[in-house]
Structure 1
Amino acid sequence: MFQRLSNMMRGYQQQPDLPGTPPSPSHSSEPKEEDASASFEVNSTESVCQRMVALLEQGTMSDVTLLVGAAQYRVHKVVLCASSDVFQVMLSSPNFSDSRQSEVRLQEEPAVAAVFPAMLRFLYSGRITITHSSVLPTLVLADKYNIKDLSKACSEFMCERVVLASQSGLLVSWLQYAITCNQKPLTEACVNFVKWNFETVAISEQFADFDVEVLLFFLQQDDLVVQDEVTLYSHVVRWLEAQERCQPAEVMSALVEEVMLHVRFPMMTPRQLAELLLVPLTSRHKDFFVERMAMGMSFHSGHWERVRELIRTGRPGQQLFTPRVYTDEQWSASLVIDNYSRLPPYLTRTLVFHSPASLSEADRRPPVEWVVDVYPRGVWFRKFYLIVWQGMTEVPELVLRTVRLAFMPRSLVDGPLRFRLAVLIDGVTSGVHHVRTVATRSFLFTEEERLVNFDDLLSFDELNDSRARSPYLLGKDGDVLRLRVVVVPLHDVCKTAS
């Protein structure tokens, strides 16, 4: 049978074309499209990576040796130059002596040298395992040698784990490195976490490790979230006391004034200002603190000539009289929405509370009553008819897929008022409860403009996806939405003092 099949195939191949029949494929002048099902893709990425790593591990055909600490790594210039601009210049440019050497010494800190082998394997295989403890030294190497894909991977890893870094004492080192090396996404993630959870960070041991420049940066932020200014003062005192253990007395005196210059004493009440005299640090630097406390008392007593002078001198000027995002009960209120999964669409939850109209005790205006409406499951505007002079106009219904919060004062007895509004939304990351999102806005309320909407506070789809638990839903069953609203008056001291 096999012989007959072979003969038949040979006869088919040798048979000439019959007259009037189309030419055989071998004689066709037009190319035919290949059948996709007849193709087969070979993917040997895994085995290629294994062979590349074997070259590194065995040193086969290596052309340079890297000396890092006490370790030696026999590597291949072509591999290193393909992934790193720095290695390319170092190992291939004739202007660098290292390019003509068989051994190149690299100076690395011990923690960085410990992850150097993993970085090399990444250059050969494109794979690396990073952890909370190894990611920062790995990022240092990636930035130093301009390994862009590794730097991006480390930065993304850290951005997603800032909360866990705060729990393990790594947040300060991550933040300070990100600022120094201009890692913008990581800097933003760390800065936002510290601003929104400042008191949690301030009571941790790592707070004492803040560089003075970093601490001053946060003290200058208007949207720093803290219970009140005297609480912030107490945290700064703790930081200064920690510095006293390693700084001489003459340095500490200047440091106290440099840091306390950015504490906003006029934002404290007269009683709080008086109690500062009982703090040992205040007593040791009495002249400086008495001057700062006098500024606060001028503000609360309505001595606007003095306030004008302070603003004009610019130490620190207008910012001294600008409130932060204070969570004390007189400035804020909480709203908790239970059984979130059972809420009907377009439901509105309303919060009513009062807040002072001014931070100065010299201002006797009555408190402002606020109505805050929350629309966590979207907004639905029903169809209605608008009566105009020509007749009636139909306005069709409109549905907005947004998480909205609306502020409105019930009345404005004493004319226009400017406030800073803030919405703080709690969340959970890897079991850690923290303030996950903050939205702020300054607004001048008038009789004509009395409503402020915060739209897209959260991702509507993420919050309302029943298939996945949103990180903004708390409680044992993940069914509680918790938020806090803050309203602080922005006293127009420039106008008052002009």
Structure 2
Amino acid sequence: MAYHTRACCGDFAIIADIFMTEMDQDSINKLPGQWFDDSSKLQQSFAKLYNSPEISDLIIHVGKKSYYAHRLFLALASDVFKVMLTSSKWKDSRQEEIRLEEPYSESVFGEFLQYMYTGHIYITTSSAIPLLMLADKYNVLNLKEACQSFMMKSFVNPARQNHVLSWYQYSRRCAQHTKLESFCFTFIQNNMDIIIDSPDWAILEKETLLSILKSSDLIITSEFRLYNAVEQWLLNPSNVKNIRQNLREILPHVRFPMMLPEQLITIENRKVVVDNWFLYMEHLMKAYRFHAVSQTARQKVEFKEDGEEYTHRNYTDSEHGVCTTINIENYSKRKPFEYSCHIETAKTGSSVDRDGKHRWDLQFWPKGQQKPALTEFGNAYLLQTDNVTLALDPLGRLEEAFKIVIAIQGRQNDMNYIKKVHQYTHDFGVKMMFRIRDLFCMHELTAGDSQYLHNDALTVKLIIRPCKPSR
């Protein structure tokens, strides 16, 4: 095939006939030549156009700030902007200046706009949600993925820098962020002691607070600590004006019977309780009765304990008697071994039943369990496996079902947190021994930068709580 080109320079015309044989791309690549990559220089040129009046064909006003923009860049990055700025059906497509209302993302709009020119952005725990809101609104797909990826890797931060609650609250509203919502709620449940000290707790929406309080799987020091955080929320200036309506909705989900009597008395004397005694009275009276009457007596009078308020959460305070902490020091220096001990857990949450205990035989193989094996000649020996295993046997006959929670501590950003949780419901009336293998992979513990070890120590919290009142 022949191609003709004509180049003109002043009064001179040069006509050159260029003949090329049709070739596929692979054949062309085999010809002597060299690839040149100027993409980085081109990217730098594009970056210089951000907020530059040079060949700008649009001015965007957001709040008190104005930005020079280029329709082409915005349309390429966002199909929403493409419709807004090119479709004749939109008034903005004919305007040289437009105003965008971004009340929650005004402070980061410049970074958002710059991203559409450069593909680069610095995301922080504070800017993640405002940026994700813009990425959602204008459907900037790559930025959506970047924000979510950052958030799912940034749950572990000191309480004052932790914004997981806001992330959960936003993702809960947006059906498209179900994975992020699930990740956030799991972290919240497993690390409530961190969460209630975060700056977002006091400004939490009531619906989000209720969704948390309804969970029996919260890992927290005590119900008393949780209530104190709830009271802090109630007395926040933005919530206190509706305090009675808020109390009506929230108090049924506070588990007063799971508090100690001395803690109940402390609460009873507070001003918010005195001023709203008619709303607190029933809940506190139920709690006092629970602590005053023994389990045997409660069963005789058919005391109803099947409500949410009589269900243990995963309390780690020793006073609740449901949590045992296993601490394996000098982990990396130890040979495979068996950690074993006898432990006790409370039969109920009632103070009058404190002397009643369940007793257990605990066995833990933190470096993998050995199991019997035979050589090819039939000789018996012990085979070392990588199965990190925990076994639990009741000392005595049990006919009850228990919730067994194994919470493994991790460390990141100079703080301890619950990194992984295994939860099981086991009926010891059906099967007497509880055994779980593969609590985690050995390489997660033996790696030089293992997030499960702090000062070469492995910490595991074992929580054993009744699923329902004893039969």
Per the TM superposition, whether the score is higher than 0.5 is yes
The corresponding residue for 1:420 is 403
- In structure 2, what is the Cα distance between the partners aligned to 1:272 and 1:65? 60
The structure with the largest alpha-carbon Rg is 1
Residues 488/39 of structure 1: CA separation in 2 closer, same or farther (3 Å cut): farther
Instruction: Determine if the alignment matches structure 1 residue 473 to structure 2 residue 453.
Output: yes
The corresponding residue for 1:208 is 202
- In structure 1, what is the Cα distance between the partners aligned to 2:390 and 2:124? 39
C-alpha distance after superposition, 1:343-395 (max 9, x if no partner) = 224x322242111233356879952222222223233322159xxxxxxx999
CA contact (8 A) 1:132 1:165 kept: no
CA contact (8 A) 2:360 2:392 kept: yes
Could you tell me which amino acid in structure 2 is paired with residue 227 of structure 1? T
- Give the C-alpha shift of residue 424 in structure 1: 1.9
C-alpha distance after superposition, 1:429-481 (max 9, x if no partner) = 111222222222221112x512333344334322222xx31111112xxx111
SS of the equivalent of 2:409 reads strand
- Structure 2 residue corresponding to 1:83, chosen from 77, 82, 89: 77
C-alpha distance after superposition, 1:231-269 (max 9, x if no partner) = 3223322332334x7633xx2122223211111223335
- Give the C-alpha shift of residue 115 in structure 1: 2.5
Could you tell me which amino acid in structure 1 is paired with residue 418 of structure 2? V
Instruction: Determine if the alignment matches structure 1 residue 405 to structure 2 residue 405.
Output: no
- Structure 1 residue corresponding to 2:439, chosen from 423, 436, 457: 457
The corresponding residue for 2:349 is 359
- Structure 1 residue corresponding to 2:145, chosen from 135, 141, 152: 152
- In structure 1, what is the Cα distance between the partners aligned to 2:204 and 2:439? 31
- In structure 1, what is the Cα distance between the partners aligned to 2:465 and 2:437? 20
Q: Which moved more, 1:264-273 or 1:211-220?
A: 264-273
CA contact (8 A) 1:382 1:398 kept: yes
C-alpha distance after superposition, 1:208-241 (max 9, x if no partner) = 2222222212111111112332332233223323
- In structure 1, what is the Cα distance between the partners aligned to 2:198 and 2:124? 22
Instruction: Determine if the alignment matches structure 1 residue 370 to structure 2 residue 353.
Output: no
How many residues matched? 440
- In structure 2, what is the Cα distance between the partners aligned to 1:77 and 1:171? 35
- Structure 2 residue corresponding to 1:96, chosen from 85, 90, 100: 90
Residues 239/246 of structure 1: CA separation in 2 closer, same or farther (3 Å cut): closer
The corresponding residue for 1:12 is none
The corresponding residue for 2:8 is none
- In structure 1, what is the Cα distance between the partners aligned to 2:422 and 2:57? 56
The corresponding residue for 2:13 is none
Higher helix fraction (1 or 2): 1
C-alpha distance after superposition, 1:285-343 (max 9, x if no partner) = 223322113333554534466645x86xxxxxx32222110113211111111111112
CA contact (8 A) 1:335 1:351 kept: no
- In structure 1, what is the Cα distance between the partners aligned to 2:64 and 2:354? 73
- In structure 2, what is the Cα distance between the partners aligned to 1:379 and 1:166? 37
The corresponding residue for 1:22 is none
- Give the C-alpha shift of residue 410 in structure 1: 2.7
- In structure 2, what is the Cα distance between the partners aligned to 1:397 and 1:42? 62
- In structure 1, what is the Cα distance between the partners aligned to 2:211 and 2:26? 69
Map 1:165-244 onto structure 2 (within 5 A). 166-168=159-161, 170-182=163-175, 183-203=177-197, 206-243=200-237
- In structure 1, what is the Cα distance between the partners aligned to 2:269 and 2:255? 18
Residues 118/409 of structure 1: CA separation in 2 closer, same or farther (3 Å cut): same
Residues 81/361 of structure 1: CA separation in 2 closer, same or farther (3 Å cut): same
CA contact (8 A) 1:340 1:481 kept: yes
- Structure 2 residue corresponding to 1:286, chosen from 277, 281, 290: 277
- Give the C-alpha shift of residue 423 in structure 1: 1.5
Instruction: Determine if the alignment matches structure 1 residue 340 to structure 2 residue 323.
Output: no
- Give the C-alpha shift of residue 80 in structure 1: 1.7
Instruction: Determine if the alignment matches structure 1 residue 136 to structure 2 residue 129.
Output: yes
- In structure 2, what is the Cα distance between the partners aligned to 1:295 and 1:431? 42
The corresponding residue for 1:314 is none
Could you tell me which amino acid in structure 2 is paired with residue 469 of structure 1? D
- In structure 2, what is the Cα distance between the partners aligned to 1:201 and 1:165? 10
Could you tell me which amino acid in structure 1 is paired with residue 138 of structure 2? Y
- In structure 1, what is the Cα distance between the partners aligned to 2:98 and 2:380? 75
The corresponding residue for 2:416 is 433
Residues 187/394 of structure 1: CA separation in 2 closer, same or farther (3 Å cut): farther
SS of the equivalent of 1:157 reads helix
- Structure 2 residue corresponding to 1:252, chosen from 243, 248, 255: 243
- Structure 2 residue corresponding to 1:112, chosen from 101, 105, 118: 105
CA contact (8 A) 1:298 1:306 kept: no
Flag structure 2 segments of 5+ consecutive residues without an equivalent: 1-24
Q: Which moved more, 1:298-307 or 1:276-285?
A: 298-307
C-alpha distance after superposition, 1:172-194 (max 9, x if no partner) = 43343333335334433433333
- Structure 1 residue corresponding to 2:47, chosen from 49, 53, 73: 53
Residues 157/92 of structure 1: CA separation in 2 closer, same or farther (3 Å cut): same
TM score, norm. by length of structure 1: 0.77
Flag structure 1 segments of 5+ consecutive residues without an equivalent: 1-30, 312-317, 386-392
- Give the C-alpha shift of residue 399 in structure 1: 6.2
Could you tell me which amino acid in structure 2 is paired with residue 43 of structure 1? D
Could you tell me which amino acid in structure 1 is paired with residue 151 of structure 2? M
- Give the C-alpha shift of residue 428 in structure 1: 1.4
- In structure 1, what is the Cα distance between the partners aligned to 2:263 and 2:183? 33
SS of the equivalent of 1:115 reads helix
Residues 255/56 of structure 1: CA separation in 2 closer, same or farther (3 Å cut): closer
Map 1:443-454 onto structure 2 (within 5 A). 443-446=426-429, 449-454=431-436
- In structure 1, what is the Cα distance between the partners aligned to 2:308 and 2:46? 59
TM score, norm. by length of structure 2: 0.81
Could you tell me which amino acid in structure 2 is paired with residue 408 of structure 1? D
- Give the C-alpha shift of residue 425 in structure 1: 1.8
